[in-house]
Structure 1
Amino acid sequence: MAPAADPVPTLANELPPPTHPDRLRVDRSTKAFGSGAYSLIDLPAGAVFAKITTATPGKKAYTTVQTGRDSHIELNSDLVFCNHSCAPSLVFDMGRMEVRVVDDRPLKAGDALTFFYPSTEWEMDQCFQCTCGAGEGVCRGWISGAKTMSTEELDGYWLNGHISELLHERK
């Protein structure tokens, strides 16, 4: 999955209504993959940010999130605007179908809503050069999914069960 792209409006010049207007705002950009989501609320570390309730099964694509070894979903919500970061603010827990604040720091209003794509994706549909700005030693650079990353590169990241299982099998 590459950084979120804008969904196609339903009618000419009309955007779909926000799905989480009390939780996040979407800053839209005309630049490819330039849009992003930002928190409207403060939450403590580990708190549930949102339940994933509007998802539908989908084929592997840059807009989907991997939920299991061979399954993907379309989020069908503003959560699709949560971009990748190597220093994420959120965890997408596909086993619980919820989005949580990372365990090591709280979320503040105005923070970019990001997650570590290899935590859900074994093989990315569209690989990309990371520009998260997390800094040397933190930013992983080329993002192509957990399959191509070493155990050391993934150490310290929260990973979904299907990713942990595939990593164990790889050994």
Structure 2
Amino acid sequence: MSPVAVQEPPSAPHLPSHPPATHPGLIKVVRSTKAFASGAVSEISLPAGAVFAKITTATPGPKAYTSVQTGRDTHIELNSDLVFCNHSCTPSLNFDMHKMEVRVVDDRPLHVGDALTFFYPSSEWEMDQAFQCTCGAGEKCKGLIEGAKVLSREALEGYWLNPHIEELLRERDAN
């Protein structure tokens, strides 16, 4: 289900309603008045596998529902509109935390208006806050999203995974 844009009242000139866009012409943030319902859509079309954006505004941070895991025990805050890229079991993007870049998935192009999503277990070993997925991917939907730690190799098949997730999976499977 796609987020629905909400008409917001104009703000007073001295009180901005939202921070300025960090990726104008690339990401359109679609805000919702409902908790965890805002999202992002693409303002450009790109071929499969193309670099969508470099991650340049990130700062180290603790594990949190807004952070992205970058290594075994490290997380960052994106500090940009990329934080509005939601989870999907059929993602449009891969967040490569080793190269600090966001790429279009390898199996299909990105089009203007497409929801910007990534598969959270591709970077998250254990989610700070598990949640019930509502991506609408049918049989491909994983249901409860808790992180890669609880997913079988079979369930992760076909997904691009960050090197730290691959390493943790090898360790888990060896035990």
TM-score of the aligned structures, taking structure 2 as reference length:
0.90
Shift in Å, 1:95: 0.4
Answer yes or no: is 1:30 the counterpart of 2:33.
Answer: yes
Equivalent-residue separation in structure 1 for 2:75 and 2:15 (angstroms): 29
Answer yes or no: is 1:53 the counterpart of 2:29.
Answer: no
Counterpart residue number, 1:80: 83
Higher alpha-carbon Rg: 2
Which aligned pairs between 1:116-135 and structure 2 lie closer than 5 A? 116-135=119-138
> Helix, strand or coil: the match of 2:169?
helix
Equivalent-residue separation in structure 2 for 1:113 and 1:15 (angstroms): 20
Structure 2 unmatched runs, 5+:
1-13
Q: 1:93 aligns with which of 93, 96, 121?
A: 96
Aligned-pair identity in percent equals: 76
Structure 1 unmatched runs, 5+:
1-10
Shift in Å, 1:15: 1.1
- Count of equivalent residues: 160
The CA RMSD over aligned residues, in Å, is: 1.0
CA offsets per residue over residues 5-55 of structure 1, 9 Å max, x none?
xxxxxx955311000011010000010111000000000000000000000
Which aligned pairs between 1:1-171 and structure 2 lie closer than 5 A? 14-136=17-139, 138-171=140-173
Amino acid at match of 2:130: C
CA offsets per residue over residues 88-140 of structure 1, 9 Å max, x none?
0000000000000000000000000000000000000000010000112x101
Equivalent-residue separation in structure 1 for 2:81 and 2:17 (angstroms): 15
Equivalent-residue separation in structure 2 for 1:170 and 1:12 (angstroms): 50
> Helix, strand or coil: the match of 1:79?
helix
Equivalent-residue separation in structure 1 for 2:15 and 2:69 (angstroms): 31
After TM superposition, which residue ranges in structure 1, 4 or more long, deviate above 2 angstroms? 11-14
Shift in Å, 1:83: 0.1
Equivalent-residue separation in structure 2 for 1:23 and 1:50 (angstroms): 8
Counterpart residue number, 1:8: none
CA offsets per residue over residues 118-169 of structure 1, 9 Å max, x none?
0000000000010000112x10111000000000000100000000000000
TM-score of the aligned structures, taking structure 1 as reference length:
0.92
Equivalent-residue separation in structure 1 for 2:153 and 2:161 (angstroms): 11
Q: Which has the higher contact order (CA 8 A, sep 6+)?
A: 1
